[in-house]
Structures are given as C-alpha cells and as structure tokens.
C-alpha cells in the first residue's frame, strides 16, 4: 500500500460498493472521536452509509500522506464537509469545515482488516464558532 492506494481508498468514500470491496468481511473499525465501532463489513457499511444522508451533508476526503507497507500503515487525510444539520449538537447546517485526521490500518490479503480513525474535532468546533475550549492559558 502507498499514497496512490490511499488516494483511491479515500476517493471510494462516495461509492459504498467500491469502498466495501477494500475491506475484509471481518474488519474491525473504530472512529475514536465519534465513539463508533464496527465489527464487520455490514456494520461498517451502516456507519459509512449515514454520511450519504442529505441531512448529514456532503463529505470529501483528501489523502495527504501514507506511511507503512503491505501489512499496515497510516493515512493522513483532510476531511472537507458541508454540513446538512447539527454537528455534535452545534448548529452547522450549510456551514463548511475542514479538519485533519489519520487512519491507522492493518491489511491481510490486500484488504483492510482493522481501521482506527482519529481527527481534530477541536478544529471543527472552532470553525463552527464554539470558540476556545479553555484548555490552555492565553
């Protein structure tokens, strides 16, 4: 796996059938920020399908880097969203945000068998006007 593979993988986000072909049936998935887990391809599809709901908005990912090899690695990406409704209870409809994140991946037989996603939620909150989180002195 390499950056070209990562670009293809993230481009498949808009085509769930194509995307699911890249995953093993027994994939273990976790989005740590959303607190969501999937224990197989059917559950992952259900989670991913929610992003295609117009109420959620439109989402696009850009691959920014890849480190690793054929058995595992990490993809750095940027997530571009135009929100169709609230985001974590914050009014966001019609607002555009972008944030950086990374997916840590494990592979077997050319398929993703494990994926753990981390992304910068604070950047989105700030773009939606939540302001400072009060964690660091000014």
Per-residue pLDDT tens for 20-68? 999 999 999 999 999 999 999 999 999 988 877 778 899 999 999 999 9
Give the separation between CA 70 and CA 108, rounded to whole angstroms.
8
Assigned fold of 3-127: Nuclear Transport Factor 2; Chain: A, (3.10.450)
Q: Are 77 and 97 in contact (CB under 8 A)?
A: no
Give the separation between CA 70 and CA 88, rounded to whole angstroms.
35
Q: How confident is the model at residue 135 (pLDDT cuts 50, 70, 90)?
A: low
Q: Is the dihedral of CA 77, 65, 69, 1 positive or negative?
A: positive
In angstroms, what CA-CA distances link 114 with 28, 82, 93?
A: 5, 28, 32
Could you tell me the residue ranges of all domains in the chain? 3-127
What is the pTM for the complete model shown?
Answer: 0.88
Question: By percentage, how much of the chain surpasses pLDDT 90?
Answer: 74
């Amino acid at each position: 796996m390499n950056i070209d593979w990562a670009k293809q993988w993230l481009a498949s986000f808009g085509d769930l059938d194509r995307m699911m072909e890249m995953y093993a049936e027994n994939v273990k998935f976790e989005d740590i920020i959303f607190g969501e887990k999937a224990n197989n391809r059917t559950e992952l599809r259900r989670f991913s399908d929610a992003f295609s709901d117009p109420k959620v908005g439109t989402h696009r990912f850009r691959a920014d880097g890849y480190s690793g090899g054929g058995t595992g690695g990490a993809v750095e990406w940027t997530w571009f969203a135009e929100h169709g409704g609230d985001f974590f209870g914050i009014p966001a409809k019609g607002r555009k945000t972008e944030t950086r994140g990374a997916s840590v991946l494990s592979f077997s037989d050319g398929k993703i068998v494990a994926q753990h996603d981390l992304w910068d939620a604070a950047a989105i909150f700030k773009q939606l006007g939540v302001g400072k989180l009060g964690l660091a002195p000014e």
